[in-house]
């Protein structure tokens, strides 16, 4: 449904001699099949929005090509617009308008007649449960209500392909779960969905496949479980930042990292925010050995926790940094 090859975007910033170029997207390739939910997972500034804005015909790629629903993005952007829906990272609604008015306008901008537009708006209000506030001014909506309206606006014309830029950014956990349900419902209605997120759990539980993007490049791609399988074994997280040990042993993190990175039962040791992540074959055998090694050095760790690898561990392995703030 979506196929992108070598998609690239650089921005010129500044004027005259002071001008520099920002390489926002440095050539990404990906494909999304019909009926899939595929996510771009990446930190701030990775190039997620820029990629989506290129695919949604808002900005022209500096290079590369893409086809969306069988239409060439560069040759026939007008045809692409008929087939896609787009929800931007920041919502694009009039503060003084109402959900119903904006929904009708949106449908009419897609070329539909007034009566059809009104029917579609009423249907969207029901489907996205906007009834309670559909005729109130949009500036009075909560973040979650506004975001549901944004998505309702994007899908009013039942597009084949839907682009969602951070659909749940800034929402509280219940609203996020609710938004996930909406997204799954859209897929059941036959839409292909391409979204961006910087939430690990969102990529993990909502997306069929994930592309991890960093600094304008895709660094890993696959189903969440396949990506996590690449990190074989278990993760043992040793906490050095816990309040009760921070004063005396908080400074032990570098020493512990050095010590355990060389241990034969550890594949890799990565310090992340006061926690040491150890990648090993089996937590059950590694934990006693880790404990012993640390005590031998007189290092007293805080909590030790064993867990399965997460997408953050994948990100860490690929980029040397953690996604979690």
Partner 1 sequence: MKLVRDTWLIFQQEAGLMVRNPVMVAFSLAQPITYLILFAPFLKVVMVDRGASTYADAYRIYVPGLFVAMGLFGGLFAGYGLLSALRAGIIDRCRVTPVSRTGLLLGRALMHVCLNVVQAMVVTLVALPFGLRVHLANLLVSYALLSVMVLLSTSISYDIALLVRNENSLGVLVNTVGQPVSLLAGVLIPLVLAPMWIQRVAVWNPFAWATDGMRALFAGQITQSVVWQGALIMSGLAAASLFWSSRLFNRDVS
Ligand X SMILES: Nc1ncnc2c1ncn2[C@@H]1O[C@H](COP(=O)(O)OP(=O)(O)OP(=O)(O)O)[C@@H](O)[C@H]1O
Q: Which does 42 bind (CB under 5 to 8 A by kind): ligand X, partner 1, Mg ion, none?
A: ligand X
- Sheet of strand 71-72: strand arrangement: 20-32, 2-13, 63-68, 71-72
C-beta closer to partner 1: residue 91 or 129:
91
What's the Cα-to-Cα distance from 245 to each of 224, 240, 300, 301, 305, rounded to whole Å? 35, 7, 8, 7, 16
Contact 117, 125 (CB under 8 A): no
Which residue from 13, 10, 31, 27 is spatially nearest to 208, judged by alpha carbons?
31
Q: Return the range that interacts with ligand X (CB under 6 A); candidates 38-46, 78-86, 116-124, 242-250.
A: 38-46
Q: Which of residues 141-200 bind partner 1 (CB under 8 A)?
A: 153, 157
Q: Which partner from the list partner 1, ligand X, Mg ion, none does 198 bind, CB cut-off 5 to 8 Å by kind?
A: ligand X
| Alpha carbon distance 22, 26 (integer Å) | 10
Q: How far is CA 253 from CA 194, 276, 307, 309, in A?
A: 40, 7, 20, 21
Q: Which residues are bridge partners to 283 per DSSP? A: none
HSE-CB of 273 using CA atoms within 13 angstroms: 6
Q: CA–CA distance from 315 to each of 21, 50, 135, 214, 257 (Å)?
A: 26, 20, 44, 9, 19
Which residue's CB is nearer to ligand X, number 116 or number 215?
215
Which chain residues interact with Mg ion by CB under 5 A?
Answer: 48-49, 89
Q: Which DSSP letter does residue 229 get? A: H
Applying CB under 6 A, among 47, 224, 301, 302 the residue interacting with ligand X is 47
Among 6, 111, 190, 274, contact with partner 1 (rule: CB under 8 A): 111
Residues numbered 185-204 forming contacts with ligand X, rule: CB under 6 A: 198
Q: How far is the CB of 325 from ligand X (least distance, A)?
A: 12
Kindly state the smallest distance separating residue 215's Cβ from partner 1, in Å. Answer: 19
Q: Which of positions 79-108 make contact with partner 1 (CB under 8 A)?
A: 81-82, 84-86, 88, 90-97, 101, 105-106, 108
24 belongs to the binding site for ligand X (CB under 6 A): yes
Interface with ligand X (CB under 6 A): 11, 13, 22, 24, 42, 44-50, 89, 198
What is the binding site for partner 1 (CB under 8 A)? 11, 56-60, 78, 81-82, 84-86, 88, 90-97, 101, 105-106, 108-111, 153, 157
């Amino acid at each position: 449904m979506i196929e992108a090859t070598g998609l690239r975007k650089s921005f010129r910033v500044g004027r005259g001699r002071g001008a520099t170029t920002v390489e926002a997207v440095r050539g990404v390739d990906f494909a999304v099949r019909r009926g899939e939910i595929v996510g771009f997972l990446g930190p701030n500034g990775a190039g997620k929005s820029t990629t989506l804005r290129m695919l949604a015909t808002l900005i022209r790629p500096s290079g590369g090509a893409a086809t969306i629903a069988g239409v060439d993005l560069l040759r026939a952007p007008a045809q692409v617009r008929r087939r896609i829906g787009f929800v931007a990272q920041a919502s694009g609604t009039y503060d003084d308008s109402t959900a119903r008015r904006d929904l009708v306008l949106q449908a009419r901008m897609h070329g539909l007649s007034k009566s059809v537009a009104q029917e579609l708006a009423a249907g969207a209000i029901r489907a996205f449960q906007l009834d309670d506030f559909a005729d109130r001014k949009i500036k009075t909506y909560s973040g979650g209500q506004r975001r549901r309206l944004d998505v309702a606006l994007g899908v009013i014309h039942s597009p084949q392909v839907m682009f969602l830029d951070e659909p749940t950014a800034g929402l509280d956990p219940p609203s996020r779960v609710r938004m996930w349900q909406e997204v799954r419902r859209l897929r059941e209605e036959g839409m292909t969905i391409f979204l961006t997120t910087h939430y690990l759990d969102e990529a993990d539980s909502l997306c069929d496949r994930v592309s991890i993007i960093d600094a304008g490049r895709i660094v890993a791609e696959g189903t969440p479980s396949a990506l996590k399988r690449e990190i074989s074994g278990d993760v043992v997280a040793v906490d050095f930042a816990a309040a009760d040990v921070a004063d005396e042993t908080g400074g032990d993190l570098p020493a512990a990292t050095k010590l355990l990175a060389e241990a034969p039962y550890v594949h890799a040791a990565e310090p992340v925010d006061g926690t040491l992540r150890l990648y090993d074959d089996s937590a059950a055998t590694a934990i006693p050995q880790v404990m012993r090694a640390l005590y031998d050095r007189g290092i007293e760790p805080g909590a030790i926790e064993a867990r399965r690898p997460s997408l953050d561990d994948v990100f860490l392995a690929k980029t040397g940094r953690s996604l979690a703030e």
